[in-house]
Amino acid sequence: AQSVTQPDIHITVSEGASLELRCNYSYGATPYLFWYVQSPGQGLQLLLKYFSGDTLVQGIKGFEAEFKRSQSSFNLRKPSVHWSDAAEYFCAVGVPNNNDMRFGAGTRLTVKP
Partner 1 sequence: GAVVSQHPSRVICKSGTSVKIECRSLDFQATTMFWYRQFPKQSLMLMATSNEGSKATYEQGVEKDKFLINHASLTLSTLTVTSAHPEDSSFYICSANSGTDTQYFGPGTRLTVL
Is 94 a residue that touches partner 1 (CB under 8 A)? Answer: yes
What is the chain's length? Answer: 113
Helix, strand, or coil (residue 83): helix
Q: Are 85 and 76 in contact (CB under 8 A)?
A: no
Cβ distance to partner 1 smaller for residue 9 or 113: 9
User: What single-letter DSSP state applies at residue 19?
Assistant: E
Minimum separation from the CB atom of position 5 to partner 1 (A): 11
Among 7, 18, 96, 110, binds partner 1 (CB under 8 A): 96
Is 7 a residue that touches partner 1 (CB under 8 A)? Answer: no
Closest-CA residue to 76 (of 86, 95, 90):
90
Binding footprint of partner 1 on the chain (CB under 8 A):
32, 34, 36, 41-46, 49, 51, 90, 94, 96-97, 99, 101, 103-106, 108
